[in-house]
Amino acid sequence: MKLTSAQLERTLSQLEAQAIPEAHPVVPQLTNLFGEHTFFVDSRGLNIVEPDETTRAGVQSAKVVNIANWSDPNLTRLAPHEPELTEMVVILGSN
């Protein structure tokens, strides 16, 4: 899921993560591997958000999905894996 700037701002206020800027040279590689998304890195690894199908009426939310874990103690290399749904849900805004 690609986030708007308002959704990105709301998401970052709820997650301890950093968004990878669209202009970053790694984004085309990530897009080729995982599709069109807004990508986030945190202490666990690389994450995306996917629409939450159980969204309450009038409130748009998304589930955080981990798609790669750090593979070294210096947090410089990522190891992709099957998407893992986390327990985190972020509120993106009102419909």
For 7-19, b/e burial (b = at least 16 CB within 10 A) is: bbebbeeebebeb
pLDDT tens, residue by residue, 49-72? 999 887 677 789 999 999 999 999
Rounded to a whole number, what is the distance in angstroms from the first to the last CA of the chain?
A: 16
- What's the mean per-residue pLDDT of the chain? 93
Nearest of 16, 45, 15, 48 to residue 31 by alpha carbon: 48
pLDDT tens, residue by residue, 11-27? 999 999 999 999 999 99
The answer on pLDDT for 95 being more than 70 is no
pLDDT of residue 94: 78
**Which pTM does this prediction carry?**
0.91
